[in-house]
Each structure stands twice: as structure tokens, then as C-alpha cells.
């Protein structure tokens, strides 16, 4: 009998993935729009919309292929091992162009779109298969809470290292050199993670009935609780995504800080988030993860609104220290909620399809990313921001409105959906906790 997978070793995978992919998510938008001014913000928004549509399609396709995979290593490991190096390569190639490349604006836009889609394909494969292992390898609620806490601390450390250290390292070795360094670290840690994953009779391939793609689609999109849950998550994920994307612009135009102060602010934010993780873990042990998830979603919009207040480095420190614990709750609590939905499906329908339900949820969650990108473009256009060469008459107000007004509205919609989900899923949750479901054979 194989030994149980180490919670720490599995969790290191999220650190590696985050360290590498944040170099794309955290800097590519700012690089193409503001730093190098290769494309306008409207072209970047169009790219985001196309990117989201393609991402939704590939999520469904890659998850279905993963579900149908049969090997001695289960469904997920072959995909993780095969696609591991290609994700690193796509991140490095993102920064292979510059103003000296000689492309026209449209050519830069086409390159940005194609490399974004390439990156997202490999990112989808890696994240979907990595996350699909979580409810299979770790079954008990206490165990899941522990793993969720550890891996999100790793995720936060990956984000902190990337977002805080990268601006300084880029000045020394450039984006491509930094991509190579992060890529090597990512490969080493992912190999350590993957080689430590142990199955008990390949649990992710044990079903009481065969997998059907058509039935999976039907089961997912006729499940009201599933739909509402993922819409709730989508709004808050969109908020976090926008924050990461425009943070350099917010720091530059709203807080008016230099690169050193920008790094310090980001470091303080991550310290606040990391400190909050064990507190959220204890809260979940005391009150249950469902209540903590709901609480975190309700308070988050109010914390986001505080981003409209700061005007310099000192006030920025105060606000990010307050926002940090809210971000911690938004990050750590959804893991157990997502595992709960997969458990309910497996109990009710007798088929293991973790990747499919994750991907269906991802499709719904990507919709808000497109909506957020459109709103951000509209707000920017309203106040005259075009790109780094033409920031308009009041870029301060532009990004203050985006962070302090637009994002809280989106977060509030997520709060409403969270409350509705708790109500809709109450009976299902009671059944699964009391083992009242009967597998359908």
C-alpha cells in the first residue's frame, strides 16, 4: 500500500505555478500597454475578451480529455508531466518583443493575443489537473483545511516574490532573463511536487458508471447551486485579477510611489495576507468553512472600497494592511467549497469528474473577467487614459475609480451570489455530511 501524499509536497506545486504565471499575469498587461506602450488599452481589452472566450473553450476540452485519460499513473499526472516545460516557455516568449522589434501596433496586438492564448492553454492544463487532485488525495475536512492553508501560503509567497522582486530584477537582467530564472525554479519544484503524489488504487479513475461529456454538461448547467457558486467566485476572482493587473498603474498614478516604495507596499500586503491565513484556518475549524466563506465574501467589497482613500506611500501602507486579511479569506475559503461541490456530484452520480466540474466552473468565472476588462476600458476611456505615452489629463482619478468604485460593485455582486448559494445548497450539504446520498449504479 502506497504512503499518503504529503500535504506540504503537494502544496509546493501551487508555489511553483504561481511564481511563474504571475510574471505573465502581473506584468504583461502593464508591459504591453504602459511600459513599452506597444498597444493601446482598448486593444488590450479586446485581447482579454478574445482570450476569455478561447479560455472557456479550452477549459472544457482539456478537462474532458483529462477525464478520459487512463494510465497507471491516473488521469492527471501524465498531463502535468508532459506540459510542464511548455508553460515556462510560453511565459518567456511573452516578453520576446519590444519597441525595437519593429512591429506595427496591430502586429504587436496579434502577437500579444497569440502568446496569451498559448500561455493560457498550458496554464489551463497545469492548473486544472493540479487542482483536480486535491479532492481525491485529501478527503477529510480537517485535512483539506490544512492543505488549503499550506498551499495558499505557498501561493502568496510565490506572488510576493514575483510581484515584489521582479521590478528590481528586470532592471538587472530583463524580462526574458527573469523568465528563465523563474522557469528553472518552477521546473525543479514541480518535479519535486509531482514525484511525491501517491494514489491509492488510482482513486481518480474509479467510477460506478462511465464518464459522459454530454451528461456532465447537463448535470453542471442544470445545477442551480453550482451555477450560483461559480458566479459568486467569478466576481471576486475578477476583482483579484484586476488588482494584480493594474497594481503597477495604481501605484504609479494614484499613490505616486517609486519602485522601492511600490515593492514595500506589495510586501506589506502579502505579509498581512499570510498572517491572516492561519486565522482563517482557525475560524474554519471553529465555525465551519461554509460560514467563513460567506463572511469573507460579504466583507470583501467594503475593503476594496478603501482603495479609493490613499494618496501617498503612508496612507497606502494603512489601507493595504486592512485589505490584506480580506484577500486571505477570499483565497483560502473557496477550496473547501469547490471540493464540497465535487463530493456532492460524485455521491449523487457515481462518477469521478473533478477536472470537468472545475473547468465548467472556470468557464463561468471567466465571464466576469471579460466584464471587468470592458468596464476598465470604459472607465479609462472616460477619463482619457490611452497608454503610457498618453495617460490623459487625470490618470490618478482613472485608477482610483477603477479600484475604489468599480471593483467594490463587482465584489458586492459576488456577495449576493454567495448568500444565495448557501441557501440553495443547504439540503445537499446536509445530505453529504450525513452520508444520505446513494450512488446510482
Domain spans of the chain, in order of start: 7-199+208-433
CB 99, CB 91: distance < 8 Å:
no
Closest CA to 33 of 249, 308, 204: 249
Q: Cα–Cα distances in Å, from 412 out to 80, 314, 406, 417?
A: 36, 28, 10, 9
Hey, how many other C-beta atoms are within 10 angstroms of the C-beta on 99?
A: 10
Match 501517491 to its residue by C-alpha cell: 198
Closest CA to 415 of 288, 308, 293, 306: 293
At 215-257, the pLDDT tens digits run: 777 777 777 888 888 888 888 888 887 787 778 788 888 888 8
Closest CA to 14 of 194, 136, 218: 194
| Selected residue with higher pLDDT from 181 and 56 | 181
The residue-averaged pLDDT of 341-352 equals 73
Q: Does residue 126 have a pLDDT over 90? A: yes
CB 95, CB 33: distance < 8 Å:
no
At 285-332, the pLDDT tens digits run: 888 888 999 999 999 999 999 988 888 899 999 998 999 899 888 888
- Pick 7-199+208-433's CATH classification: 1.20.1250.20, 2.140.10.10, 1.20.1260.10, 1.20.1560.10: 1.20.1250.20
| Selected residue with higher pLDDT from 279 and 152 | 279
Q: How confident is the model at residue 355 (pLDDT cuts 50, 70, 90)?
A: low
Per-residue pLDDT at 206: 53
274 CB-near residues (< 8 Å, 6+ apart): 153, 156, 157, 160, 328
Q: Does residue 142 have a pLDDT over 90? A: no
Q: How many alpha carbons lie under 13 Å from residue 206 in its C-beta half-sphere?
A: 8
- Grid cell for residue 379: 472607465
Highest-confidence segment of 108-112, 157-161, 391-395: 108-112
Cα–Cα distance measured from residue 319 to residue 144, given in angstroms and rounded to the nearest whole number: 31
Q: Does residue 192 have a pLDDT over 90? A: yes
Q: How confident is the model at residue 440 (pLDDT cuts 50, 70, 90)?
A: very low
Per-residue pLDDT at 305: 92
Cα–Cα distance measured from residue 281 to residue 200, given in angstroms and rounded to the nearest whole number: 27
Cα–Cα distance measured from residue 148 to residue 340, given in angstroms and rounded to the nearest whole number: 13
Q: What is the pTM of this model?
A: 0.70
Per-residue pLDDT at 439: 44
Q: How many alpha carbons lie under 13 Å from residue 58 in its C-beta half-sphere?
A: 19
Q: How confident is the model at residue 176 (pLDDT cuts 50, 70, 90)?
A: very high
C-alpha 243 chain-centroid distance: 12
Type and span of the H or E element at 160: helix 141-160
CB 243, CB 408: distance < 8 Å:
no
Percent of the chain with pLDDT over 90: 22
Strand partners for 387: 390
Q: How does DSSP classify residue 4?
A: P
| Selected residue with higher pLDDT from 5 and 18 | 18
Percent of the chain with pLDDT over 70: 87
Per-residue pLDDT at 302: 93
| Selected residue with higher pLDDT from 412 and 4 | 412
Cα–Cα distance measured from residue 220 to residue 218, given in angstroms and rounded to the nearest whole number: 6
Closest CA to 92 of 192, 194, 187: 187
Give the three-state DSSP class for 387: strand
CB 373, CB 243: distance < 8 Å:
no
Average confidence score pLDDT of the chain: 82
Per-residue pLDDT at 441: 36
Cα–Cα distance measured from residue 146 to residue 140, given in angstroms and rounded to the nearest whole number: 10
Q: At what angle do helices 224-250 and 7-25 cross, to 10 degrees?
A: 60
Closest CA to 297 of 420, 430, 399, 160: 420
Amino acid at each position: 500500500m502506497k504512503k499518503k501524499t504529503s500535504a506540504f509536497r503537494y502544496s509546493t506545486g501551487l508555489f511553483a505555478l504561481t511564481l511563474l504565471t504571475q510574471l505573465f499575469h502581473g506584468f504583461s498587461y502593464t508591459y504591453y500597454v504602459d511600459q513599452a506602450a506597444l498597444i493601446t488599452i482598448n486593444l488590450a481589452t479586446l485581447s482579454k475578451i478574445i482570450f476569455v472566450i478561447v479560455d472557456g473553450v479550452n477549459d472544457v476540452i482539456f478537462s474532458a480529455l483529462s477525464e478520459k485519460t487512463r494510465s497507471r499513473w491516473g488521469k492527471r499526472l501524465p498531463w502535468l508531466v508532459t506540459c510542464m516545460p511548455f508553460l515556462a516557455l510560453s511565459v518567456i516568449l511573452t516578453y520576446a518583443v519590444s519597441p525595437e522589434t519593429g512591429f506595427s501596433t496591430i502586429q504587436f496586438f496579434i502577437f500579444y493575443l497569440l502568446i496569451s492564448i498559448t500561455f493560457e492553454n498550458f496554464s489551463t492544463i497545469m492548473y486544472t489537473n493540479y487542482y483536480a487532485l486535491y479532492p481525491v488525495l485529501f478527503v477529510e475536512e480537517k485535512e483539506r483545511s490544512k492543505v488549503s492553508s499550506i498551499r495558499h501560503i505557498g501561493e502568496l509567497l510565490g506572488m510576493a516574490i514575483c510581484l515584489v522582486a521582479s521590478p528590481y530584477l528586470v532592471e538587472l537582467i530583463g524580462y526574458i532573463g527573469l523568465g528563465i530564472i523563474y522557469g528553472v525554479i518552477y521546473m525543479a519544484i514541480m518535479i519535486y511536487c509531482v514525484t511525491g503524489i501517491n494514489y491509492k488504487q488510482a482513486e481518480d479513475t474509479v467510477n460506478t458508471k462511465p464518464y459522459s461529456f454530454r451528461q456532465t454538461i447537463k448535470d453542471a448547467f442544470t445545477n442551480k447551486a453550482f451555477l450560483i457558486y461559480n458566479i459568486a467566485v467569478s466576481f471576486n476572482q475578477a476583482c483579484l485579477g484586476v488588482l494584480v493587473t493594474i497594481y503597477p498603474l495604481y501605484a504609479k498614478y494614484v499613490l505616486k510611489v517609486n519602485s522601492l516604495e511600490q515593492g514595500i507596499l506589495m510586501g506589506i500586503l502579502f505579509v498581512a495576507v499570510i498572517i491572516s491565513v492561519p486565522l482563517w484556518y482557525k475560524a474554519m475549524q471553529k465555525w465551519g468553512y461554509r460560514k467563513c466563506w460567506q463572511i469573507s465574501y460579504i466583507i470583501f467589497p467594503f475593503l476594496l472600497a478603501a482603495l479609493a482613500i490613499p494618496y501617498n506611500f503612508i496612507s497606502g501602507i494603512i489601507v493595504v494592511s486592512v485589505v490584506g486579511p480580506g484577500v486571505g479569506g477570499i483565497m483560502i475559503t473557496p477550496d473547501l467549497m469547490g471540493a464540497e461541490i465535487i463530493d456532492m456530484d460524485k455521491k449523487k452520480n457515481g462518477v469521478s469528474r473533478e477536472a470537468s466540474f472545475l473547468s465548467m466552473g472556470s468557464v463561468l468565472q471567466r465571464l466576469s473577467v471579460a466584464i471587468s476588462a470592458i468596464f476598465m476600458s470604459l472607465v479609462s476611456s472616460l477619463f482619457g487614459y490611452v497608454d503610457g505615452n498618453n495617460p490623459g489629463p487625470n490618470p490618478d482619478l482613472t485608477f482610483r475609480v477603477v479600484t475604489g468604485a468599480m471593483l467594490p460593485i463587482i465584489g458586492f455582486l459576488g456577495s449576493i451570489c454567495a448568500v444565495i448559494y448557501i441557501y440553495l445548497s443547504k439540503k445537499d450539504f446536509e445530505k453529504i455530511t450525513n452520508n444520505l446520498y446513494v450512488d446510482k449504479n
